[in-house]
Amino acid sequence: MRPVLILSLAMLVLAYVALAGGREWLSPGQVWAGLWNPDDFLIQVLRLPRVLLAIGAGMALGLAGALMQGLTRNTLATPDVIGLVQGASLGHVLVLVAGGPPLWGAVAGAALALALVSLLARGQGALAFVLYGIGVGATAAAATTVVLQRAPDAQVAQAMLWLSGSLSRADMATAGLLWAAVAVGLLATLGFGRALSTLWLGDELTLALGINPARLNLLVLALVAMLTGAAVLAVGPLGFLAFTAAPLARAVTGAEPPALLPAALMGACLLVLADLGARLLAPWVSLPTGLLMALIGAPYLIFFLTQDRRGMMR
C-alpha cells in the first residue's frame, strides 16, 4: 500500500504545481478559488482540462504498459514500443477522416496492431515480439502521416498538433471519455487484483492457483487495447511513457512487480511533469509534450540496454 500512497501524494503535488504554474503563477488561495469558480478562465478553461488529461492519459498508458510487461514478462513489450500506440493513431485518423466515433477507431487500431504483432511473433521469443512490433509501429506511423496529408486542410492543422503528442487541444469532453476508460481499467485492476498479480509468475503457477490463463490473457489484452486507444485519442501517440512508468515506479518505491497501480500513478506523474515542462518552456520555445517525453524516455532505454547486457534481451 505504501508505494501507492507515496505516488498518489506526488501526483497530487505535481497536479497542484501544474494548476498554479505557467506563464502566470497563482497563489494557493487563487488556485482554490479558481477550482470552485466556473468563470475562472485560467483554471477552468486552460489549466484544469490539461491537468486532467495528463493525469488520465498518464494513468492509462502507465497501466497499459505494466499490464503488457506483466503478461509477456518482458520490459520492452509496452504499447509504445510494440506499435500499439502507432496502430491506435492510425485507426483514429482513419475514422476521423471517414467520420465515425473516434474512440472506437483508436481502440480498434490498437487491438489490430496487437493481434498482428502477436500473430507474427507467435512462438519466436520475447525479442522477436518486440522487433516485429517496431516494424508494425513504423509502418503505422508512416501511414498515419499519409492519411493526414490527404485529409482536408482544417483537419490536418488540428491533427498535426495531436500527432506530435500535445495536450494543448485539451477539452473536458475528451477528458471525460478518457477518464471513463481509466475508471474501467482501474476497477478491473482492483477487481481482478489477485489474478493479475500472478502475471509475472507465469502460466503454470497461474493454473496451479486455479486461474484460467487464456481468459486472463484475453482480459489483459482487451484492457491494454482500450487504455491505449483512449490515451492516444486524448493526447496523441506519446512514446516512451508506457515503457518507463512501471520500471520507474518500482525503482522509486520498491514496489513488487507487476506494480499495476504504482505504474499508473507514475505514468500520471511523468505526463503531468512533461506537460508542465512544455508549458514552462513555452515563452522561449513551444515543444510538444511528446518530444519532452522522448527526451526523458530515450535515455532510459539506453540505460536499460546497458544494464541488460547479459540479461534476457539477447
Name the site residues for another protein (rule: CB under 8 A).
76, 81, 120, 124, 127-128, 130-132, 134-143, 145-146, 149-150, 239-240, 284-287, 291, 294-295, 297-299, 301-302, 305-306, 309-310, 313-314
User: CB of 71: closest distance to another protein in angstroms?
Assistant: 20
User: CB of 11: closest distance to another protein in angstroms?
Assistant: 25
- Degrees (nearest 5) of the Cα angle 226, 228, 230? 65
Cβ count within 10 A of residue 153: 7
User: CB of 300: closest distance to another protein in angstroms?
Assistant: 9
CA distance 152 to 172: 25
What's the length of the chain? 314
Which is nearer to another protein, 134 or 184 (by Cβ)? 134
User: CB of 281: closest distance to another protein in angstroms?
Assistant: 9
**One-letter identity of residue 35:** L
Q: What is the DSSP letter of 311?
A: S
User: CB of 112: closest distance to another protein in angstroms?
Assistant: 14
User: CB of 237: closest distance to another protein in angstroms?
Assistant: 13
CA distance 248 to 227: 20
Which is nearer to another protein, 194 or 309 (by Cβ)? 309
Which is nearer to another protein, 46 or 151 (by Cβ)? 151
CA distance 36 to 200: 44
Which is nearer to another protein, 79 or 297 (by Cβ)? 297
User: CB of 4: closest distance to another protein in angstroms?
Assistant: 30
Contacts of 62 (CB under 8 A, 6+ apart): 241, 242, 245, 246, 249, 263, 264, 265, 266, 267, 268, 270
* Measured CA distances, 242 to 20, 81, 172, 303 (Å): 27, 9, 23, 16
Which is nearer to another protein, 44 or 145 (by Cβ)? 145
Which is nearer to another protein, 51 or 81 (by Cβ)? 81
58-73: burial string, b at 16+ Cβ within 10 Å, e else: bbbbbbbbbbbbbbbe
Which is nearer to another protein, 150 or 194 (by Cβ)? 150
Tell me the helices (H) and strands (E) count for the chain, helix number first: 14, 0
